[in-house]
Amino acid sequence: MDTFRIEGQWNGNKNMTLNIPHFPHFHSDLTTEFNNFKRYPHPFEYFALSLCGSLTMTIRKNSEEKGINIRNLYLIIEGTVNNELDKLINLTINIHMSSNTTINELASLQKSLLDKDPLFNFIKYSNNINVNWG
């Protein structure tokens, strides 16, 4: 079993920062050798990276529709992969937000996302993806 971690941060402007540990640049050459000196991003890391960007845009869009100004949105996606089976075992998404709005309004945004957004619905009903809000 191997693990990976993807981090994404959006601070309210037009830019988004993504961090893949051990990679100053995200390579396009793929391999499944995680614990080797020739380590390149695993295909599931690409999946987690695109999921991080999609979740960021979904949260951003929904917060703007509700008039909530998010100052900082920080996502950490961690996963476990069985390389022998080439299978994603689990994925944990940690979402941290700061805003000048009330806790109740942030809770309302969270509930709206979980209840109505197709991407969050997909995640909610997946057996091996967990979401933690902080």
pLDDT tens digits, 49-89: 889 889 999 999 999 999 998 888 999 999 998 877 878 89
Residues contacting residue 124 through CB under 8 Å, at least 6 positions apart: 114, 131
For the chain, the structural domain boundaries read 2-16+29-90+108-127
Q: What is the mean pLDDT of the segment spanning 95-105?
A: 91
CA distance 79 to 26: 18
Residue with tokens 């917060």: 63
